[in-house]
């Protein structure tokens, strides 16, 4: 069952669209629902071009009806040149995008070189808004990922008030 978190979702969307030469890193405990939360929030932004990447997989994969590019889309170039080249192939001329493209990269901890691309990716923030997440990001050292180019968004398990918003009154009476 999906638990809608409207306040958190609004905060996420505002932070994402407000990125300025930064990438957003969504962090939180394993299995807290980071990926589902991001995918649901992105559904609210269907008028923006979007791309989803899952670095757990080597190539394109369809997961629960969502198409995700794999590690091959990102490439291996140290400053992200291959990635930027593939973004150009995928979206065309950056300058022609009516709105910035939203790029969600999941399982970043499975391919840490992506974190080194942060500097390069952030420079394209007029054209792209990047969201990165992974369950073990806190265990990875970001040695060359420029400080100040990352904005963190914390996602915790639902609060009691969020639970009360979705709970059926008869269940609460029962408990």
**What does the alpha-carbon distance between residue 120 and residue 113 come to, in Å, rounded to a whole number?**
12
Please count the other Cβ atoms lying within 10 Å of the Cβ belonging to residue 67: 11
- With beta carbons less than 8 A apart as the criterion, state whether 37 and 5 touch: yes
| Spatial separation of the C-alpha atoms in residues 172 and 175, rounded to whole Å | 5
Q: How far lies 108's CA from each of 24, 64, 101, 112, 113, in Å?
A: 12, 19, 19, 6, 9
Distance of alpha carbon 169 from alpha carbon 167, whole angstroms: 6
Q: What is the largest CA-CA distance in the chain?
A: 58
Task: Specify the pLDDT at position 148.
Answer: 62
Q: Vertex 14, ends 2 and 50: CA angle to 5°?
A: 70
Q: What is the pLDDT along the chain (175 residues), one digit of tens a residue?
A: 667 788 899 999 999 999 988 889 898 888 888 999 999 999 999 999 999 999 999 999 998 788 999 999 998 877 788 998 999 999 998 888 999 999 999 998 888 888 777 677 777 778 889 999 987 766 565 555 555 677 889 888 887 777 777 776 666 666 6
| Degrees, nearest 5: CA angle 36-41-43 | 100
Rounded CA gap, 68 and 103, in Å? 11
- Sequence-separated contacts (24+) of 164-171 with Cβ below 8 Å: 166/3, 166/4
Query: What is residue 72's predicted lDDT score, i.e. its pLDDT?
Result: 93
Partner residues linked to 66 by β-bridges:
63
Collapsing DSSP to helix, strand or coil, 22 comes out as coil
Residue with tokens 């969502």: 66
Q: How far is CA 5 from CA 41, 47, 163, in A?
A: 10, 21, 10
Query: What integer pLDDT is reported at residue 59 of this predicted model?
Result: 93
At 13 the pLDDT is 96
Report pLDDT for 67: 92
Q: Which of 4, 24, 33 is nearest to 104 (CA)?
A: 24
């Amino acid at each position: 069952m999906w638990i809608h978190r409207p306040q958190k979702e609004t905060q996420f969307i505002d932070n994402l669209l407000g990125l300025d030469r930064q990438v957003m890193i969504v962090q939180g405990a394993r299995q807290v629902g980071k990926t589902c939360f991001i995918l649901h929030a992105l559904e609210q932004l269907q008028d923006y071009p979007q791309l989803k990447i899952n670095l757990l997989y080597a190539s394109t994969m369809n997961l629960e009806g969502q198409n995700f590019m794999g590690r091959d889309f990102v490439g291996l170039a140290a400053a992200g040149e291959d990635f930027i080249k593939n973004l150009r192939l995928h979206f065309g001329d950056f300058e022609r995008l009516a709105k910035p493209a939203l790029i969600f990269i999941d399982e970043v901890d499975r391919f840490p070189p992506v974190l080194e691309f942060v500097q390069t990716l952030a420079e394209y923030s007029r054209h792209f808004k990047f969201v990165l997440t992974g369950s073990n990001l806190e265990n990875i050292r970001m040695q060359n990922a420029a400080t100040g180019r990352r904005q963190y968004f914390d996602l915790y398990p639902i609060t009691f008030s969020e639970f009360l918003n979705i709970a059926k009154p008869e269940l609460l009476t029962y408990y």
